[in-house]
Amino acid sequence: MDSFLIRGGNSLRGKVEISGSKNSALPILAACLMAEEKTTLRGVPRLSDINSMIGLIKELGCDVYRHEPSGDSGMTGGPPLNGPLDITVKSEKNCEARYDIVKTMRASICVLGPLLAKRGRAIVSIPGGCAIGDRPVDLHVRGLEKLGAMFRNENGNIVGEVRGRLKGCRMYLGGAQGPTVLGTINVMCAAALAEGDTVLVGAACEPEVVDCADMLNKMGAKIRGQGTPEIRIEGVEKLRGVEHRIIPDRIECGTFIIASAITNSPLELKHCNLDHLIAVTDLLEEMGVRMTRENGTIFVNPTGRPRPIEMTTQPYPGFPTDLQAQLMALLCVADGISVITERIFPDRFLHVGELNRMGARVRKEGPTAIIQGTMELAGAPVMASDLRASAAMVLAGLIARGTTRIDRVYHIDRGYEKIEEKLRALGADITRIKESRAVA
Ligand code: EPU
């Protein structure tokens, strides 16, 4: 388990290349199980969660080949661009996603819909809860049942079967906390190969759903309404192999916007889609961060100590839960009292205790956190508890007085591609301590 050592206080300056979206690439890799020929994906980030998904689809019979990097990113000191990934299904015999893989990556559930639609059978270990909450998968199962799949629980696995072909229908896919992102994608993938028409009412509108629908459409699917709460799918018999570029990672982009704001440093972010971040950029502008865009580049210009705000996480296009922890790190040094309410994962607050160890003043009341801004934070040894909470620790460490040591950074490696290289290239004093040295 590696650690990060950050000496706070450096200003940042320069350009950073935003990677392809992890949360788009994961279900898209699973959707490749449905293609008849080779699929080529560009912009797939190198992350441990992506490696786990590649490992899983290989076990499910795919050949996966990563091409060499296709040149450098043009960013001084930044990591090179990734080469494309070729995925070809060679065998359809194995239909099982084992617990060993599922327990390291909940997104393994994304293979359920594609396997049932294409192979008529799926055994997927039931993902347990994680640091951000219980995270049930009942809506995935309910949606696939409506399409005609039959399920039973066996030894901690969901065992699903289809007699003949799945059948399209009209269904409501929302739950108590609103729409489900991966649930929508799972059912949409399955419906793409079902017989007849499917209408998903209460579908998630996230850009990752749209990216997957766009790729499926290139493959020959007939999907309309992606990006709205009502997705209409006309089932087809086959999906072909295609080339597809993964959308930019809006959460990584938002994290670098906050890095710019917290260090009060102007930054240039390349390969972004600001349309995917409208709730985030509007809020940060209210806090005093100026942003301009030019094609796929965002120029971020903070204007001093941020103003406090109130924010509630919401499904897209609202403020994303995946940026709640990072925003909290910024509000810890804002000029006044801020309030954050978490509506998607009401328990997603493990970072509160760690930020308070660094001198922050955050009080939690149910799904709400009240943040009293302070003039400065102090470096401390802290723990990365989940992916986005770890990013919040890194952001806090960038401005904390003295040294911050963040343990268990494998969490951050799940979702941020080479974050320490990217930050170092911008001028941050951040070092990775490898496991053997970290323990010593
Ligand atoms: N929910 C149910 N039943 C279900 C599915 C979801 O009750 O069957 C509830 C959840 O407990 C939650 C809400 O619905 O309260 C929304 O969860 P959703 O299903 O949308 O989450 P997800 O699809 O499992 C994806 C991202 C998460 C991100 C959420 C919300 C991936 C791989 N994961 O998860 O990303 O927080 O959508 O936007 O795409 C991360 O990247 O750090 C991360 C956790």
Segment 344-361, tens digit of pLDDT: 999 999 999 999 999 999
| pLDDT at 131 (0 to 100) | 78
For residue 87, the CA-to-ligand 1 centroid distance in Å is 26
Residue 70 has pLDDT above 90, yes or no: no
| Tokens 């030894």, located at residue | 155
CA dist 185 and 166 (Å) reads 16
User: 406 phi and psi, to 5 degrees?
Assistant: -110, 115
* Average pLDDT for 138-142: 96
* Average pLDDT for 60-69: 94
| Ligand 1 atom 17, closest CA | 180
Residue 310 has pLDDT above 90, yes or no: yes
| Ligand 1 atom 2, closest CA | 136
Residue 140 has pLDDT above 50, yes or no: yes
pLDDT band at 385 (very low <50, low <70, confident <90, very high): confident
Q: To 10 degrees, the CA torsion angle through 176, 181, 187, 190? A: -170
| Tokens 């997705």, located at residue | 231
| Ligand 1 atom 6, closest CA | 180
- For the four alpha carbons of 19, 20, 24 and 28, in that order, the dihedral sign comes to negative
What's the mean per-residue pLDDT of the chain? 94
Q: Would you say the pTM of this structure is higher than 0.85?
A: yes
| pLDDT at 215 (0 to 100) | 98
Residue 337 has pLDDT above 70, yes or no: yes
| Tokens 């990591």, located at residue | 79
For residue 345, the CA-to-ligand 1 centroid distance in Å is 8
DSSP H or E segment with residue 300: strand 297-302
3-state secondary structure of 15: strand
* Average pLDDT for 409-417: 93
* Average pLDDT for 54-69: 95
| pLDDT at 440 (0 to 100) | 39
Q: What share of the chain has pLDDT > 70, as a percent?
A: 96
Decide if 12 contacts 423 (C-beta within 8 A): yes
| pLDDT at 437 (0 to 100) | 56
CA dist 245 and 327 (Å) reads 29
Q: Where are the alpha helices (DSSP H) in 132-266?
A: 138-146, 181-192, 207-218, 250-263
Whether 322 is in the pocket of ligand 1, judged by its Cβ within 6 Å, is: yes
First to last CA, the chain: 12
Residue 77 has pLDDT above 90, yes or no: no
| 103 to 129, 214, 346: CA distances (angstroms) | 9, 29, 22
Residue 258 has pLDDT above 90, yes or no: yes
Under 8 Å CB-to-CB from 113, ≥6 apart: which residues? Answer: 30, 140, 144, 185, 186, 187, 188, 189, 190
Q: How many CA atoms, within 13 angstroms, populate the side-chain half-sphere of residue 116? A: 33
pLDDT band at 76 (very low <50, low <70, confident <90, very high): very low
Work out the number of other CB atoms within 10 angstroms of the CB of residue 347: 14
Whether 253 is in the pocket of ligand 1, judged by its Cβ within 6 Å, is: no
Q: Label residue 334 exposed, middle or buried (CB < 10 Å: 0-12, 13-18, 19+).
A: buried
| pLDDT at 382 (0 to 100) | 96
Report, as residue numbers or ranges, the catalytic residues: 130
Q: To 10 degrees, the CA torsion angle through 175, 176, 177, 183? A: -20
Segment 166-189, tens digit of pLDDT: 999 999 999 998 999 999 999 999
pLDDT band at 439 (very low <50, low <70, confident <90, very high): very low
Whether 138 is in the pocket of ligand 1, judged by its Cβ within 6 Å, is: yes
* Average pLDDT for 280-304: 96
CA angle 259–398–298, rounded 5-degree value: 15
Question: If you ran DSSP here, which 8-state letter would residue 386 be given?
Answer: S
Residue 79 has pLDDT above 60, yes or no: no
* Average pLDDT for 246-271: 97
Ligand 1 nearest atom to the CA of residue 204, by list position: 20
| pLDDT at 130 (0 to 100) | 76
Q: Tokens standing for 233? A: 């799918």
* Average pLDDT for 129-141: 85
Work out the number of other CB atoms within 10 angstroms of the CB of residue 387: 23
User: 180 phi and psi, to 5 degrees?
Assistant: -115, 130
Whether 315 is in the pocket of ligand 1, judged by its Cβ within 6 Å, is: no
Whether 53 is in the pocket of ligand 1, judged by its Cβ within 6 Å, is: no
Q: Give strand pairing partners of 152.
A: 159
Q: Tokens standing for 411? A: 């969490």
| pLDDT at 81 (0 to 100) | 73
pLDDT band at 73 (very low <50, low <70, confident <90, very high): low
